[in-house]
Structure 1
């Protein structure tokens, strides 16, 4: 049985994996086989973090400033999206730390690093339109980040794919609201 086990593990050098894990403990979640350009990916993720945080603030402002009984459903949508954007920001910040980076929450540079823009419209249709534009920007930004990362960092890639799928749902929601 041990020879069969050796054949199964012939392509995986378990001893080398164990040794590298012991020697590189300070690298945390980043294993010796990690192929991504960590500095580049951390920068991309910090820009995505800024984008998500700006989106949280935009949706929250819209939630609190949208008025009128007819807009209760729209306000609820804004609040739900703000909460989901915050979840995205948290996931991104956590991934940055896993890559041994530092998440950049500096409020002085958030709007500069964000792909999406902040919006302070008071008209409900203008709010919805601004959010739809921001979602479309986020979708394209994530698509490009996914392409840049390719197969070099499957964990980050998968996270971005999952976030992009939610952004597509948000864009669809805003498009539906704009049509109503």
Structure 2
């Protein structure tokens, strides 16, 4: 027997288990898209997402403050970029909140605990370069947080992982833009 034939015989076929699919689909219909295949990780994923939601909301507030308070020769262009980033962070927050609800969780918008749950801090700098620097640090915190969440979730929830990967890509773009402004 050749090595190729031996590998074919030892290879496990990729075949769906139709009976298991139908069983999972018919259980707990009130859970909507969440089937038993989500396993014991759903609550942990919702908790991770609520941390990400808090981070995005704090980022929106920081960027908005910086947009309205930026002053200096370069401030109009940088302030406009702050507003673009604020709007994109707000869209991230919306996507995360929608996913939390889809997973059967409750998105936590409580302003009293928002800062404590956020991975990134708020900043009330008044100098333009300090604003850019604070936003760059916050973006780098978000990048590392999303990277860790993606690794933790792995194949446990592919939909959430893809969403986080898309948001991570936006955050990396924000960091690159801010790095360029920091040099100006």
Structure 1 CA distance, aligned partners of 2:133 and 2:39?
A: 40
CA contact (8 A) 1:36 1:152 kept: no
TM-score by length of structure 2 reads 0.88
Q: How far 1:18 sits from its partner (Å)?
A: 3.2
User: Deviation string for 1:99-118 (max 9, x for gaps)?
Assistant: 10000000000000000000
Q: Which runs of 5+ in 2 are unaligned?
A: 1-13
- Alignment match of 2:157 (pick from 150, 153, 159): 153
Residues 1:73 and 2:77 aligned together: yes
Structure 2 CA distance, aligned partners of 1:23 and 1:156?
A: 22
Q: How far 1:75 sits from its partner (Å)?
A: 0.7
Question: Which residue is 1:120 aligned to?
Answer: 124
TM-score by length of structure 1 reads 0.90
Q: How far 1:71 sits from its partner (Å)?
A: 1.3
User: Deviation string for 1:79-103 (max 9, x for gaps)?
Assistant: 0000000000001001111110000
CA contact (8 A) 1:36 1:153 kept: no
CA contact (8 A) 1:36 1:149 kept: no
Question: Which residue is 1:3 aligned to?
Answer: none
CA contact (8 A) 2:71 2:127 kept: no
RMSD: 1.5
In the alignment of these two chains, the number of paired residues is 171
Q: Which runs of 5+ in 1 are unaligned?
A: 1-9
Q: How far 1:16 sits from its partner (Å)?
A: 4.2
Structure 1 CA distance, aligned partners of 2:35 and 2:50?
A: 21
Residues 1:86 and 2:90 aligned together: yes
Question: Which residue is 1:176 aligned to?
Answer: 180
Question: Which residue is 1:28 aligned to?
Answer: 32
Matched residue SS, 1:33? helix
